[in-house]
Amino acid sequence: MSSFSTSSATSNSKLPVREIPGDYGFPFFGAIKDRYDYFYNLGTDEFFLTKIQKYNSTVFRTNMPPGPFIAKNPKVIVLLDAKTFPVLFDNSKVEKKNVLDGTYMPSTDFYGGYRPCAYLDPYESTHATLKGFFLSLISKLHNQFIPLFRSSISGLFVNLENEISQNGKANFNNNSDIMSFDFVFRLLCDKTNPHDTNLGSNGPKLFDIWLLPQLAPLVSLGLKFVPNFLEDLMLHTFPLPFFLVRSNYQKLYDAFSKHAESTLNEAEKNGIKRDEACHNLVFLAGFNAYGGMKVVFPALIKWVANGGKSLHTRLANEIRTIIKEECGTITLSAINKMSLTKSVVYEVLRIEPAVPFQYGKAKEDILIQSHDSTFLIKKGEMMFGYQPFATKDPKIFDKPEEFIPERFMAEGENLLKYVYWSNARETDDPTVDNKQCAGKNLVVLLCRLMLVEFFMRYDTFTVESTKLFLGSSVTVKKVERAT
């Protein structure tokens, strides 16, 4: 056997070495079959569950979409338990170059000809420069997070109440997208109101249009009137070209170039070309920030709503009591005292992580260990982790499929190291040397702040929800004003 390293999380175990089960089928046709099973015949979760049962293993070989002709090599080794998954965070063992979207990468035309920071491996010098700048930017802006978000979210509640009054229901996703874009643009563009720019009210729509061609190979739109083979041909067989969204992206670039002047000036001082900094800023704002909020906020509202009036009463009591003790002021210190609110946010990130996929290519031969076996992954092989399975590992979490609001309270905080939503453990922090989301702590704060603002206004609420190709669609049916 060639020299290898062992996953540090499991290095002391004496589990038997097992051949990685599974296969890739016939060349070309095996990848097509797996793609159809993944999108149409089985669906994502059932695709993985079926293979777990077939191979009696949470580690196995398969093809991952999109396959031919978008991805040259769709072959992956799947990691579906909490024990093997963290190897994907170990940059000494896995390479993260161009694997943000998995086995393919969209054309750099979508990013002005540059590879954004998210597609860079930490060993690349540009990664440290860009990631360092983003971390310093977030640190510099931290005093604006709460006031700017509160300003943006006030409009969300007004719109929801107006829609419920007029239509008997309100589309949370649309209103949340508007709020999210408003917050992100104001934060990164010197508090400029996007409505006062060339974007007007079109910012969220422009980002949505720009994101779709990049993510299309990974999703199914679920349109019943479109035959599966036709959707597969349109979305999963050939990449959608940038020229379809060129004018939309240019509007976004021009807006950030003009109104994020102080941020771009600072980037130039850090040795980053202004053009490259602006394209990276658009990516940060649209793909990372807005794109993440587009998924995580509806998930938060859906799961809290499903918790029912009992949970709502407990949250409202905790939030209002602590804010009252703080003389009516919503501060970071006050939010940090809300133990149930914090636990609820972590539980949402556990049960429905915003980014469900992680990829990494082995830099060397690696031994990894699941709960019951050891496996050898050879240098150059691609590993894939599906986070919703890893963060619902029944050998780690009690009743893993259930939403338990108080799961991470008191001694439950010890389980936070198994919450993997941000390309790392929740207990880790982003640095220039890792691939953890630079805004990880900001996302947690904004989710808590959304609950604070919500339950300062309302006693309880009800929603209806359905699955989208990215996250959940949430319709608010009723809200009861705080008494």
* Residue-level length of the chain: 483
**Bridge-based pairing state of the strands 75-79 and 382-386:** parallel
The residue with tokens 């422009």 is 206
* Nearest in space to 316 (alpha carbons), one of 304, 329, 306, 326: 304
- Does the annotation list 189 as a binding residue? no
* Nearest in space to 231 (alpha carbons), one of 245, 220, 242: 220
Buried/exposed 299-308: b ≥16 CB within 10 Å, e otherwise: bbbbbbbebe
**CA neighbours closer than 13 Å in the CB half-sphere of residue 198:** 14
Which long-range CB contacts under 8 A does 251-255 form with residues at least 24 apart? 251/198, 251/199, 251/202, 251/206, 252/199, 252/203, 252/206, 252/207, 252/210, 252/282, 252/286, 253/112, 253/278, 253/279, 253/282, 254/198, 255/185, 255/189, 255/194, 255/197, 255/198, 255/199, 255/203
- Report the alpha-carbon distance of residue 272 to residue 277 in Å, rounded: 6
Binding residues, by number, are 437
Binding residues for heme, by number, are 437
